[in-house]
Structure 1
Amino acid sequence: MTQRSTSADFVTGFATGWPEQQPDLMILSLTTAKGVRDFAVNKDQALLIAETIRKTADALASPKS
């Protein structure tokens, strides 16, 4: 994995119809120390992102006590 100098504070995904009259897009809003970046993704891209997140989450270790 690439080393990054900035990590995300949090990420939120939501379907808003934004830009106006485009309910076929999902907006992925990424908030970092450098500010907020919004990305518009179509259904195929959103499903690929979701699958990648699921696979990564499945591989995470259990929290330490």
Structure 2
Amino acid sequence: MFDLPVKPIGDKALQQINPVNAGTFKKFRETLILKAYSPVTLKTDLSEFAQLLHGIQTKIISV
């Protein structure tokens, strides 16, 4: 809308999950950004999803 730069959210969390799940995490992040969720919601949802991915350590096929 205003063409403001979007600061990458979740990069720290991305470093802590299994590389197999990195694509799934990035896709989830892009989806939330496209839906224009607030920065607080993005931070919370990405943190929770990263914890899930870190905990299972296996690939999630789709989001």
**If the TM-score is normalised by the length of the shorter chain, which range does it land in?**
0.3 to 0.5
* TM-score (norm. length: structure 1): 0.37
Q: Which structure's CA Rg is the greater one?
A: 1
Higher relative contact order (CA 8 A, sep 6+): 2
| Structure number with higher strand proportion | 1
